[in-house]
Homo-oligomer: A and B are copies of this chain.
Amino acid sequence: MANRSRVTIREVAERVGVHPSTVSRVLNPATRGRITPEIAEKVTKAANDLGYTPNQAARGLRTNRTRTIGVLIPDITNPLFPPIIRGIEDALGESGYTAIIGNTDNLAVRETEAVSTMRARQIDGLVLATARRDDPLVSQCVADGLPLVLVNRTADADGVSSIVNDDALGIALAVSHLKDLGHTKIAHIAGPLELSTGEARQRSFLEALQKEGLSPADCPVAETNAFSEDEGLRTAAELFAEGLSFTAIVAANDLIALGAYEAIADIGLRCPEDISVTGFNDMPFVDRLSPPLTTIRIPHYELGREAARRLVELIETPDSSARATTLRPELIVRGSTASPDR
């Protein structure tokens, strides 16, 4: 291969003795048919020999399509997101697209910033894993006609495509599992209600109580300000401080569940002997905790794949309409849930 990627379509054309546009036509699958097979053959060979690689910047400038998409993630360091990103990148790769990732740390400023850098790079579309229920960025993108898919979290605005897990099913599985074990007093530590996941899981918890015939009066709900271990600890501790007598906690996600573990240990109780705990997400290594965490497994990788596939569809079929898709989660029973003491 020559120094850097400096072989141009012109050099290939000269080598074969045809016009650059002929080379372009050969190399573009859509127009290859119009070229005499014999010439096409020679061009292809010359391109390979010279180690030609198309300059995407030039192509993008001409076609107004960069085959690059932006992905906004709260924090790649949160083990929830890498599988989603993998799914996105793997699916994009299959369609010849590439992703640019931006971490926003859940900061609106950083989101705006990231989107403008990405737009400067002429992204063809955007996958947001950062959506809040009421998210100006979402409305902005919709207004600007930028192809957009939300993943993991959705937004209240309609007309937006989204791929999320079925929170209602997940929570129902958790509550039903606890009820089957004999729990009747179950607490819920909810995530932030400005996120669709926080709100949906809380709503689903209340619905599940009703479906299972459990009394909401015995089943307290507390809200956190973030899906974090610290907030889980703080909120669980508050719940205990109120002197309520629940025997199980449905945490809105695994990190909150970890916080609950600590709160339980702090007041001298044991999980699962005294209090059962369920999480949500099935993060890596929660099977190695003590006790191993009973949780709801979300197909994160598939969430990412689907989001990318949907986005490519949106980009390449401009008249395709927005759809909200939901993927099925699964209950994973481990050691953090058991029958309540009686």
- A53 contacts B89, C-beta separation under 8 Å: no
Chain B residues, Cβ within 8 Å of A241: none
A55-75 with Cβ < 8 A to chain B:
55-58, 60-61, 66, 68, 75
A86 to B103, CA, bound (A): 8
A30 in the interface (beta carbon within 8 A):
no
- Which residue of chain B has the shortest Cβ distance to A55 in the bound complex? B122
Is the C-beta of A159 less than 8 angstroms from some C-beta in chain B?
no
Interface residues of A in 78-117 (CB under 8 A from B): 79, 82-83, 85-86, 89-90, 93, 98-103, 116-117
A315 within 8 A of B: no
Q: Is A145 an interface residue (CB 8 A)?
A: yes
CB of A341 within 8 Å of the partner chain: no
Q: In the docked arrangement, what's the CA distance between A134 and B56, Å?
A: 31
Q: Does A203 contact B (CB under 8 A)?
A: no
Residues of B within 8 A of A3 (CB): 144-145
| Complex CA–CA separation, A89 to B85 (angstroms) | 15
Contacts of A75 in B (CB 8 A): 86
User: Is A1 a contact partner of B57 (Cβ separation < 8 A)?
Assistant: no
In the assembly, how many copies of this chain are there? 2
Instruction: Determine if A333 is an interface residue (Cβ-Cβ < 8 Å).
Output: no
Assess whether A210 is interfacial by the CB under 8 Å rule: no
CB distance from A135 to the nearest CB of B (A): 16
Per a CB cutoff under 8 Å, which of B56, B61, B290 touches A120?
B56
Which listed segment binds B: A18-26, A184-192, A281-289?
A281-289
Compute how far the CA of A1 lies from the CA of B86 in the bound complex, rounded to whole angstroms. Answer: 32
Q: In the complex, how many residues of chain A place their beta carbon closer than 8 angstroms to a beta carbon of chain B?
A: 48
CB distance from A305 to the nearest CB of B (A): 13
Contacts of A53 in B (CB 8 A): 116, 119-120
Residues of B near A289 (CB, < 8 A) are 285, 288-290
Does A34 count as interface, using CB distance less than 8 angstroms?
no
132-154 of chain A: CB within 8 A of chain B: 140, 144-146
Contacts of A56 in B (CB 8 A): 120-122
Q: Closest CB-CB distance, A125 to chain B, in whole Å?
A: 11
Q: Answer whether residue A298 sits at the interface, using C-beta atoms and an 8 A cutoff.
A: no
Query: Can you list 27 residue pairs at the A/B interface with Cβ under 8 Å?
Result: A3-B145, A4-B119, A4-B144, A4-B146, A5-B119, A5-B122, A53-B116, A53-B119, A55-B122, A57-B57, A57-B61, A57-B66, A58-B61, A75-B86, A77-B82, A77-B86, A77-B284, A79-B79, A86-B103, A89-B101, A98-B117, A98-B121, A99-B100, A100-B100, A258-B288, A284-B285, A290-B290
8 more A-B residue pairs beyond the given contacts A5-B120, A55-B122, A57-B122, with a C-beta to C-beta distance below 8 A: A55-B120, A56-B121, A89-B103, A98-B117, A101-B101, A284-B285, A285-B285, A289-B289
